[in-house]
Structure 1
Amino acid sequence: MTDFSAAPVTLFLLVANVLVSGYALFSDPGLIDRLAFKPRRILDGKEYYRLITGGFVHVGLGHLAFNMITLYFFGPYLEVLLGSVRFLLIYFGAELAAHGLSLWMHRGHPQYAAVGASGAISGIVFAYCLFNPFSQIGLFFAIWIPAWAFAVGFVVLSIVAMGRRAPGETGGLAHEAHLGGAVGGLLLTILLEPRALPIFLSQLGV
């Protein structure tokens, strides 16, 4: 069992996501709409808080569970390695990068909305991949592949899915948020921890 005494920020994020999403799902469904990431509400109404709050509500228990399980497995390692402050900066920096890309891509779609911590989680997973490129990552806990292969496949599939997405489509996975969060988390980790890139390259034998 994970010892969260050395990873208090991860524990806080897990609890906050579960409490906010749980309250929205079971007690106040309207909260999802009030906190969701909505480009036009951000640009027209200056509701900038949605850039952060959209990452704390989820559309269902499965959506919430998948994101929190991923954070549970990758968050503590990264927080212990980098420290709580840098981990927090990477988490929210990745979320802002995710929503920043989504904001740009959907700025002309009034009906577009998105929720979930997937962008921030993508940033955490990609940051982990820098330090452990050959660590095995389980897809749906069944298919195990090296972290570097997961990262490459993730980017390629996200780009392909983005190209096939209908303009203004609000259902399904927010692939642009996943991609933005992944790239944001990667760049922030390299910026905040100068050893990250040399460690990654040395493990690749470069």
Structure 2
Amino acid sequence: MGNLSIVTIVIIVANVLISYKGFGDYSFFEKYKFNIGGIKRGEQFRMFSSGFLHVDTQHLIFNMLTLFFFADVVIQYIGSLGFVLVYVGSLILGSLLSLYFHKNEYHYSAVGASGAVTGILYSAILLRPEMSLYMFFIPIPIPAYIFGIGYLLYSIYGMKNKADNIGHDAHFGGAIGGYVITLFLANWLFQENLLMIGLLAIPIVLLFVLKRMGKI
């Protein structure tokens, strides 16, 4: 990991420049953040532009570090164009799921590349489910597919309880984007790892079952 390709550099630089513009320019931040009221007024560009804004430097660094660690895995398997398709598609799907879950909350707002980055993370897990991930608070390696499933189950918990200020729905929508677009681009996975495709689909199916049941 850590092989920075030109597309990864461009995306990171775009996030840094646009985020820092937002840090110092309140009107710019307000104009381009994800906001239900603004989107309903016809400002659909917010669903894309909000993915390049961040709340603060810590938020920005965390997302860009995650992108840095997993970008080259995705590029290695599906190429730079595939990587860009996963990134942008996950960003949009993250915003669409947020819109779906918060459509009646006129003042709901959000920013961050988390949806796009989670899409890249889930894509990397789908492509390399056997790789090990290390978490700050767990001293032993975790198989990537267990981390991916656990992360989405945690996101469902967060969406259900609404006890924090994290955009769990955008993360989940991004993961769906990473999952679907990667399978479309790397359909050989159906022959090589059908079981893993099924396992990683479990939390996605669960979310929509719970939503249909009115549990979320």
TM-score range, shorter chain: 0.7 to 0.9
Identity in percent: 36
Q: CA deviation at 1:200?
A: 3.3
1:189-200 equivalent positions in 2, closer than 5 A: 189-200=182-193
Count of residue pairs brought into register by the alignment: 197
Instruction: From the superposition, tell whether residues 203 and 108 of structure 1 become closer, same or farther in structure 2 (CA, over 3 Å).
Output: closer
What residue is the counterpart of 1:42 in the other structure? 39
Q: 1:104 maps to what in 2? A: 100
- In structure 2, what is the equivalent of residue 12 of structure 1? 10
State TM-score, norm by structure 1: 0.88
Q: For 1:79 and 1:47, locate their aligned partners in 2 and report how far apart those are by CA, in whole Å.
A: 32
Matches within 5 A, 1:1-206: 2-4=2-4, 7-25=5-23, 27-43=24-40, 45-140=41-136, 143=139, 144-165=141-162, 172-201=165-194
Q: Deviations over 1:161-180 (max 9, x none)?
A: 111117xxxx6100011111
Q: Which runs of 4+ in 1 moved over 6 A?
A: none
Once residues 3 and 167 of structure 2 are traced to their aligned partners in structure 1, the CA distance between those partners, rounded to angstroms, is: 32
Partner amino acid for 2:175? A
Over 3 Å counting, the alpha-carbon distance change for 1:197 and 1:11 in structure 2 is farther
What 5-or-longer segments of structure 2 have no aligned partner? 198-216
C-alpha displacement at 1:23, in angstroms?
Answer: 2.2
Aligned residue type for 1:9:
V
CA contact (8 A) 1:130 1:199 kept: no
1:2-61 per-residue CA deviation (whole Å, 9 max, x = no partner) reads 443xx2211110110011112221x31332211111122112x21111111000000011
In the alignment, is the contact (CA less than 8 A) between 1:119 and 1:178 conserved in 2?
A: yes
Superposed displacement of residue 132, structure 1: 1.2
Deviation at 1:202, TM superposition (A): 7.5
Contact 1:74 1:128 in 2 (8 A): yes
Q: Offset of 1:142 from its aligned partner?
A: 5.3
Letter in 2 for 1:21: S
Q: For 2:34, give the aligned amino acid.
A: F
TM-score normalised over the length of structure 2: 0.84
Residues in 2 aligned to 1:162 and 1:203: alpha-carbon distance in whole angstroms: 25
